Structure 1
Amino acid sequence: MRLRLFGPTGVAVFGKVPIPVVTSRSIPAVVQQLGMSKPYLPLWFDRARPLFGAILLFVPLYLLGVAWFAADPQTIDIGYSPTQPVPFSHALHAGELGLDCRYCHTTVEKAAHAAIPSTEICMNCHDRIAPNSPKLALVRESYATGQPIPWVRVHDLPDFVYFDHSAHVNRGVSCVECHDRVDRMERVYQARTLRMGWCLECHRNPEPHLRPQDQITNLAWQAGSPEEQQRIGEELRRKNNIQPSTSCSTCHR
């Protein structure tokens, strides 16, 4: 048996059975030879194959990039400012009235977590100040029923990250370093990325972020100059034996 090619049709004959030799140019002739009404694939398919290959290559990369960008804390968290069940103004309480952060966040110097204030702390003042304000209806209800106010957490680290407020506050790191000027915020929002790289920058070079212990909750405090800040930071680092760890196990326990 031998293989014979039909010239213009592009059809090979193996014995008596025609076998199409398909190329882009021969498709019309093959279709006509075999009596087919139309080809299985359009003529432009061959020309479009490089484009399909590019799509298969770049679309997954594009989707991966979008997912990475969407999951990045700087993308989804900076500026995050949820609506709270009670319109509490830090600008009024911590700023205008000058309440110390520790009056409400009572455990910040003693525990890993800075406690959310209980309703009783609110009522220490609001039992007498604006006791009938509609804005405080939920506070009064919580006080009467004993059910806590469902505050919405703003600065929420992943469960696999351990952060100890007391370890930082007791060594000269002010609230403002992580939370920014909350005394100017009508509604608290996240102002820092809280990313691992951002934390490591401070651990590797803590001096610019240290201040005297009596100025920890004075969010407006600043050293007179960068040189003075560096000097204060170096002194506090020696005095408090501050040796920030950069080991993974420090925060990922």
Structure 2
Amino acid sequence: MQIFHPRADTIARVVFVSLGAVPTLLLFLGYMIMRSPYITGQDLVREQPVPFSHEHHVGGLGIDCRYCHTSVEQARFAGIPPTGTCMTCHSQIWTNAGMLAPVRASLADDRPLRWRRVHNLPDYVYFDHAIHVAKGVGCSTCHGRVDQMPLMRQAVPLTMGWCLDCHRDPAPNLRPREEVFDMAWAPPKNLDEQGKRLMGEYHIRTQHLTDCSTCHR
């Protein structure tokens, strides 16, 4: 008397294979989700109190990054411009523009605009703008071509792996200090040679750049 169906052996094989394949698939899916824009925030545009266009102000008008982000060369934080900086121009031009009503209200009420952070690193990550600028890392390396962004977005993943890739081999991302704020800067043909030269000039040593305490303090 036959106890098991002829297909039972096939079913058993499928079950055993699934026991190994399903956990592997779940781990792979989890890995992909953790690297997706849903988690990293890459390419997402966040709603702001005013639709500020870097494309217009930087790309069109040629305003230097440091005009608004005044502390980027001296401090850990690049700084967010106060309303007074905006009104330096907008007290004279586009004075009645509807989209600038929050700016005028901010000045009248002496209350800062509540901008939403686009590049929002976790609290346990230490990042210092000043040291990166001093070592020749351009704004566009981390922030992308903001002069071509009608609305600000996060151009790169900013994951731990992405940062470590640069800390292990920073040479390809270095440029002369006078070019740090140039959005249109393009790497030269002798990038490898320039990178090695700048590593020496800027006294960059990679031995401890991947130490945990470098970014987690």
Tell me the TM-score normalised to structure 2 length.
0.86
- Counterpart of 1:38 in structure 2 is none
Q: Secondary structure at the match of 2:103?
A: helix
Q: 1:167 aligns with which of 128, 131, 139?
A: 131
In the TM superposition, 1:1-253 aligns within 5 A as 58-72=21-35, 76=39, 77-223=41-187, 225-227=188-190, 229-244=191-206, 245-253=209-217
Unaligned runs of 5+ in 2: none
Amino acid at match of 1:218: D
Give the number of aligned pairs: 214
- Which stretch shifts more, 203-212 or 81-90? 203-212
- Aligned counterparts of 1:246 and 1:232: Cα–Cα separation in 2: 23
Higher strand residue share: 1
- Which stretch shifts more, 115-124 or 67-76? 67-76
- Which stretch shifts more, 194-203 or 128-137? 194-203
> Cα gap change, 1:236/1:54 in structure 2, threshold over 3 Å: closer, same or farther?
closer
Amino acid at match of 2:72: V
Q: Larger Cα Rg: Structure 1 or Structure 2?
A: 1
Q: Is 1:73–1:194's contact at 8 Å kept on the other side of the alignment?
A: no
Amino acid at match of 1:164: D
Amino acid at match of 1:235: R
How far 1:78 sits from its partner (Å)? Answer: 2.2
* Structure with greater contact order relative to length (CA < 8 Å, sep ≥ 6): 2
How far 1:193 sits from its partner (Å)? Answer: 1.6
- Which stretch shifts more, 142-151 or 53-62? 53-62
Q: Is 1:69–1:75's contact at 8 Å kept on the other side of the alignment?
A: no
CA displacement 1:191-229 (0-9 Å, x = unmatched): 112122222222222222111212111111224x321x3
Q: Is 1:78–1:190's contact at 8 Å kept on the other side of the alignment?
A: yes
Percent identity for Structure 1 against Structure 2: 45
> Cα gap change, 1:56/1:150 in structure 2, threshold over 3 Å: closer, same or farther?
farther
Amino acid at match of 1:140: R
- Aligned counterparts of 2:24 and 2:201: Cα–Cα separation in 1: 50
RMSD (Å), alpha carbons: 2.6
- Aligned counterparts of 2:145 and 2:4: Cα–Cα separation in 1: 69
